[in-house]
Structure 1
């Protein structure tokens, strides 16, 4: 078996379970190379993949960085195929509609942009999420600089009565999708 390209965690730090990461990356490679019998892998599947955390696992930052680059490659291929199939105008119109939907959501008042958890459960810190959402709105409205990597790396502390994680994560995923849809071809 080949040596890992990812560093392992040490001490008390946990990382991604190596076998799970290796298996997923093998599937993604087979799909990207269009090998016969390869599973279908999409940029969305790459964005949403989750791995168990274990002691002596792969470095989370290194794996996440690699997954981001792989997602970019799949998204570019998907965009090119859709543009050939549907035409650039349809592709751009779909991306614009998605961006407008995100912007409508972000135009809600601060502290009211997402549903809240109950007083007994934790969600994302409202103030931290709202700061990121303001930056996303500025990107969509005024072209203020923000990168896909910054959106992917958004992380929030927890609080009681915080924003529901799944709603915030879904909006961030949609934002990444829009950004990749309009990214210049490399």
Structure 2
């Protein structure tokens, strides 16, 4: 089942001013070429790409590079296309019940953390001066996620992808890496459901 990557990714991206930083165009183009092969002819992909690869990719900043906002938006669409294909392949291979079990398992793991008390959902950084996320901001998003998962309140996957938290310092906030890893799993779940 081939997907049309041209609907997901434009042929070229807008560049930032020469004095501003954007994404390394060569790295973006190489990754998207690999993604194109993985989407359109997966059997020919030397290094197959999946939705988690798209979610985790990063590019070096360079002056005059591709606009990060434009590339990120295209990557979000690409991740969604891979997630839909992965869902469809799992359903075709193992049935809808297998897909529902996988979704249920991931949802259960995420809900366990979401139902922890405010201020206790994530680790606090061990180092006093380490950067961290404002606990109230993160907890607010967690409340929205509970409403989405348990009460069918609308929430777009893009609002989770684009979530921004005020900075905190050390144990005043939540450890950034743990929050980011959790939100990656939330995006994985939301992309599979929607």
C-alpha deviations, 1:73-117, integer Å up to 9, x for none?
Answer: 111111111111111011112101211211110111111110011
Please give the TM-score of this superposition, normalised by the length of structure 1: 0.91
Aligned positions of 1:10-29 closer than 5 A? 10=17, 12-29=19-36
Alignment gaps of 5+ in structure 2 = 1-9
Change (3 A) 1:41 1:145: same
Cα distance in 2 for partners of 1:157, 1:59 equals: 24
Greater shift in the superposed pair: 41-50 or 171-180: 171-180
Cα distance in 2 for partners of 1:87, 1:170 equals: 29
1:121 aligns with 2:130: yes
1:85 aligns with 2:93: yes
Q: CA deviation at 1:31?
A: 1.1
| 3-state SS of 1:30 partner | helix
Q: 1:151 aligns with which of 154, 160, 170?
A: 160
Calculate the aligned-residue CA RMSD, in Å: 1.7
Cα distance in 2 for partners of 1:81, 1:121 equals: 42
**Hey, what does 2:179 align to over in structure 1?**
168
**Hey, what does 1:111 align to over in structure 2?**
119
Aligned partners of 2:157 and 2:187 also within 8 Å: yes
1:177 aligns with 2:188: yes
1:73 aligns with 2:84: no
Please give the TM-score of this superposition, normalised by the length of structure 2: 0.87
**Hey, what does 2:148 align to over in structure 1?**
139
Q: CA deviation at 1:11?
A: 6.0
Q: CA deviation at 1:13?
A: 3.3
Q: CA deviation at 1:139?
A: 0.7
Q: CA deviation at 1:155?
A: 2.1
Cα distance in 1 for partners of 2:18, 2:92 equals: 50
Alignment gaps of 5+ in structure 1 = none
Aligned residues: 181
